[in-house]
Amino acid sequence: MTTTSTTTLTERYVQAMLREVPEDRRADLGDELRSTIDDMIEGRVAAGEPADEAERATLTELGDPAALASRYTGARLHLIGPRFFLTWKRLTLQLLTWVPAVVATVVAAIRVLDHHESTVGQVIVDAGGAAITTAVQIAFWTTLVFAVLERVDADEPTPWTPDDLPEGVGERDPSFVDTVGSIAWNLVVAAALVIQHFRSWVEGPDGDDVAILDPDLWSGWLPFLLLTIAAFVALEVWKYRRGWTAGVAAGTVVTSVAFSAPVAWLAMEDRLINPTFVDVVDLGSAGQDRLALAIAVGAALVAVWESAEAVVKWWRTHQGPS
């Protein structure tokens, strides 16, 4: 047998591969790889190739040592693999189609209200910048979540079947994409509640950012709303695992009312919006009343919609085909 494991190219290749594997496996994998290379070179030499050319051809055939190491250790060389790629793509595109637009609209509205300082150009730039920042954040966080799922051996999304097609009768159970999308939206809302306290698009007379919500809410109501959002997230997981059960429908109604009712009440009591924010954007008493009414009505409509949707989906699920 021709011994080539000490030649320069082979040993460099082996060492490059071993750098990519755990230290406790290097000795065994190094011996195994050297033996494999020797056998492959010997076969080429027996077929008439010069030893140097046989060695180079063998290493070329084996390919990148880092890729070879991944085959030995099972390490993943992709950020998001085939298991989760389509789910990641659908969810990311779904969020990108509307979340940045909503954020841009909100920012533009705030800038328009802040009419003392904002020009049309500033409104466009700020709204566009907020939309781009939001899109980048969505792409980053969804990619991070699925990259983590890829590496913790999470269960694959339920394989597609014809049952996933839209139905004329009945209501399908929540899909993996629906669940992750709902959880992501709740996390975005929670993050917005926290971030607005430290960073907003409205500046006070001293140049500091002005919180949109009343800072006094941190003494009780904002933590309660964040806990309610956490309950929403837990409910989404429960709904994904159990489907539209009576408990899930009831939980949806309770959590929706638990979030919307305080928001509506605080708005009508003029305790939701930061008074400094109201002064800076010069809403005035009438403007503040209209804003409070709009928030209260919006919160009530959301609660009614979510509650009705939950009940209808539960009923359709258990009604079955007629």
Residue 167 domain-assigned?
yes
**Co-location of 88 and 28 in the same domain:** no
In terms of domains, do 30 and 56 share one? yes
* 210 shares its domain with 270: yes
- Residue 1 included in any domain: no
Are residues 64 and 26 part of one domain? yes
Residue 227 lies in a domain: yes
- Which of 128, 147, 166 is a domain's end point? 147
Same-domain status, 166 and 252: yes
* C-alpha span between 252 and 233 (Å, rounded): 11
Q: Which of 207, 203, 189, 181 is nearest to 93 (CA)?
A: 181
Q: Please check whether residue 246 lies inside any domain of the structure.
A: yes
Kindly report the number of other CB atoms within 10 A of residue 6's CB atom.
8
66 and 187 share one domain = no
Spatial contact of 245 and 310, defined as CB atoms under 8 Å apart: no
Is the domain of 185 the same as that of 277?
yes
- Rounded to whole angstroms, the Cα distance separating 250 from 99 reads 28
Per-residue pLDDT of 184-197, as tens digits, reads: 788 888 888 888 78
- Overall number of domains in the chain: 3
Q: Which domain holds residue 38?
A: 8-73
Same domain, 257 and 307: yes
| CA gap 36, 150 in Å, rounded | 31
Q: Are residues 313 and 223 in the same domain?
A: yes
Indicate whether 2 belongs to any domain: no
Same domain, 162 and 306: yes
User: Which segments of the chain are extended strands (E)?
Assistant: none
Distance CA 237, CA 179 (A): 7
Same domain, 13 and 106: no
Within-domain flag for 46: yes
304 and 209 part of one domain = yes
Per-residue pLDDT of the chain (322 residues; tens, 9 = 90+): 444 444 578 888 888 888 878 888 888 888 888 888 888 888 889 888 888 888 888 888 888 888 887 777 766 666 777 777 877 887 888 788 878 887 788 777 766 665 555 666 777 777 788 888 888 888 888 888 888 777 676 555 566 556 555 444 445 556 676 777 778 788 888 888 888 787 766 666 676 778 888 888 888 888 999 999 998 888 888 887 777 788 888 888 888 888 988 898 988 888 888 888 888 777 777 777 888 888 888 889 988 988 888 888 888 776 654 4
Whether 18 is covered by a domain: the verdict is yes
Instruction: Return the DSSP state at 166.
Output: -
